[in-house]
Amino acid sequence: MTLRARLLLAQAPLALALLLVGVVAVGTLSRLGRAGPRVLQDNYRSVLAAQEMMAQLERMDSGALFIIAGERQRGLAQQAAQRERVESRLRVQEGNVTEPAEDAATLRLRLAWRRYLERYEGFLAQPSQEGARAAYFGGLEPAFQTVMGAARAILDLNQDAMVRKSEALQRQSARVNTVMVTAVLVAFVVGVLASQSLTHRALRPVSVLSQAVRRLGEGDYAARAVVEGRDEICLLYTS
What is the per-residue pLDDT across 19-67, written as a single tens digit (0 to 9) for each?
776 666 666 656 655 555 666 677 889 999 999 999 999 999 999 999 9
Average pLDDT over every residue of 89-111:
93
pLDDT of residue 75 exceeding 70 = yes
**57 contacts: CB under 8 Å, gap ≥ 6:** 82, 86, 116, 144, 147, 148, 151
Residue 99 included in any domain? yes
Residue 113 included in any domain? yes
Contact (Cβ atoms closer than 8 angstroms) between residue 133 and residue 175: no
Among residues 213, 169, 60, the alpha carbon closest in space to that of 124 is found at 60
Residue 237 included in any domain? no
Instruction: Tell me 140's DSSP state.
Output: I
CATH number at residue 46: 1.20.120
Residue 45 included in any domain? yes
Compute the distance between CA of residue 162 and CA of residue 38 in angstroms, rounded to an integer.
Answer: 10
Structural domain total, the chain: 1
- When pLDDT is cut at 50, 70 and 90, the band that residue 205 belongs to is low
pLDDT of residue 170 exceeding 60 = yes
Residue 195 included in any domain? no
Query: What is the separation, in whole angstroms, between the first and last Cα of the chain?
Result: 17
Residue 129 included in any domain? yes
Q: State the residue range of the domain holding 95.
A: 32-169
Instruction: Tell me 126's DSSP state.
Output: -
Q: What is the pLDDT of residue 164?
A: 85
Per 3-state DSSP, what percentage of the chain is helix, strand, and coil (rounded to 5)?
Answer: 85, 0, 15
Residue 226 included in any domain? no
Residue 234 included in any domain? no
Q: What is the pLDDT of residue 71?
A: 92
pLDDT, mean over the chain: 79
What's the whole-model pTM score? 0.64
Contact (Cβ atoms closer than 8 angstroms) between residue 105 and residue 157: yes
Contact (Cβ atoms closer than 8 angstroms) between residue 90 and residue 67: no
Q: For the residues of 180-234, what is the DSSP string, one character each? A: HHHHHHHHHHHHHHHHHHHHHHHHHHHHHHHHHHHHHHTT-TT------SSSHHH
Q: What is the pLDDT of residue 2?
A: 55
Portion of the chain with pLDDT greater than 90, in percent: 45
